[in-house]
Amino acid sequence: MLKSTILPTKTVGLQPTTPKSPKPPLYPTNHQTSSGEGETYSADPKSADSPIDNPITTELTPSPVLSSLNLLTFNIEGFNSNKLYIETLSKRSDILLLQEHWLHSYEKHKLDEFLEDFICYTKCFDDNSLSDAYERRRGHAGVAICIHKKFEKFVELLPDGGNRIIGIKFNTTQPFIFLSTYLPCRGNANSIDNYQEILDELSEIYIKYSNVFRIVIGGDMNASIYRDSKQDKVFRDFIKENNLLIPPSCGKTFTFYHYNGRDTSQIDYFLESKSVISNYLTFIRESTNTSTHDPILITIPCNIQANK
């Protein structure tokens, strides 16, 4: 008998036709957003099912043919402290774009060992440090991209970017570049210069690959399209100069909740070079999430023959 395989549905709320895979209910956000300003959902906290796709099991297909690809971006604010939630998110997505894992270079193996079904490409703040690894200061920053192993044959790590940008080529019929980025936050006299430096790196990568690849950038931008600080304006200029798009369904939903319990903002985004994102969902606060950020999950339509 052939091993059963997985075919995800493409539409939010679509009920599977087989009783083997019941669809968990979706719970609307408590955020105050008007109609047309974006969708925000959470899966049942007791379930790890994706708020976008509920798999359909078939008995005849020799390997999964996927009609959509789920990508998730999330500032995890510490891998070691947010493991439980990361494990849940890994069951909801095909590719994880992570920021602020706070691992040292000698700890990169932790992500691979924890996410056994994923290939993890990781950059750390101290990758280029010459000091003794065990004498370095507390971990901070860091970016990673984790891809489910069923897509291993399509993936190639990019050599571009410093330790705040990591990217992969996704070599399918319509090839993609996926980038995870963590931009500098505000707070010191050099912050704008530092911020612009990372945007310049992103622009160089965009110019290098945009003629052949569709580019999707996900991450903590530490800037908002709805504010007017100097850093916010630099971010908007970057989007405009590179003809990047933010899907309209992004809306105005908050993605960051300050420790003070009062301040909120939208600073996490997915950007795209062409309009390919079909669903854009911002999660509500979930009890196992120890980060001050909420994840964003998107769907990209595709036709991929994945590995078993």
Which token pair is 51? 């708020």
Q: Which two tokens stand for residue 75?
A: 């500032």
| Cβ density class 157-196: b for 16+ within 10 Å, e for less | ebebbebbbbbbbbeeeeebbbbbbbbbeeeeeeebeebb
What CA–CA distance (Å, rounded) separates 122 from 71?
17
Mean pLDDT of the chain: 82
Looking at residue 61, what is its pLDDT? Answer: 46
Asked if residue 77 lies in contact with residue 143, where contact means CB atoms within 8 angstroms, the answer is no
Cα–Cα distance measured from residue 56 to residue 84, given in angstroms and rounded to the nearest whole number: 26
Q: Cα–Cα distance between 8 and 93 in angstroms, integer?
A: 11
- Higher-scoring residue by pLDDT: 16, 176: 176
More confident residue, 38 or 208: 208
Q: Provide CB contacts within 8 A for 76, sequence distance 6+.
A: 82, 85, 86, 98, 99, 100, 101, 291, 293
Q: What is the pTM of this model?
A: 0.79
Calculate what percentage of the chain has a pLDDT beyond 90.
Answer: 65
- Residue partners of 92: CB distance under 8 A and separation at least 6: 43, 48, 49, 50, 51, 52, 70, 72, 297
Residue-wise DSSP of 227-293 = --SHHHHHHHHHHHHTT-B--GGGTT---EE-TTSS-EE--EEEEESSS---EEEEEPP-TT--SSB
CA atoms of 73 and 93, how far apart (whole Å):
10
Closest CA to 256 of 286, 294, 282: 294
In the chain the domains, ranked by start, together with CATH numbers, are: 67-305 (3.60.10.10)
Q: What is the pLDDT of residue 72?
A: 98
CB 96 within 8 A of CB 89: yes
CB of 98 within 8 A of CB of 74?
Answer: yes
SS3 150: helix
173 vs 234: CA distance, rounded Å: 34
pLDDT band at 82 (very low <50, low <70, confident <90, very high): very high
What CA dihedral angle connects 246, 97, 41 and 225, to 10 degrees?
Answer: -30
SS3 125: coil
Between these two residues, 87 and 53, which has the higher pLDDT value? Answer: 87
Report the pLDDT value the prediction gives residue 15, as an integer from 0 to 100. 39
- The pLDDT of 81-98, averaged and rounded, is 96
* Token output for 258: 């300050």
Of the two residues 47 and 163, the one the predictor is more confident about is 163
> Distance between CA 289 and CA 156 in Å, rounded?
30
Calculate what percentage of the chain has a pLDDT beyond 70.
Answer: 74
Q: Which of 42-46, 66-70, 112-116, 131-135 has the highest mean pLDDT?
A: 112-116
pLDDT for the residue numbered 43: 45
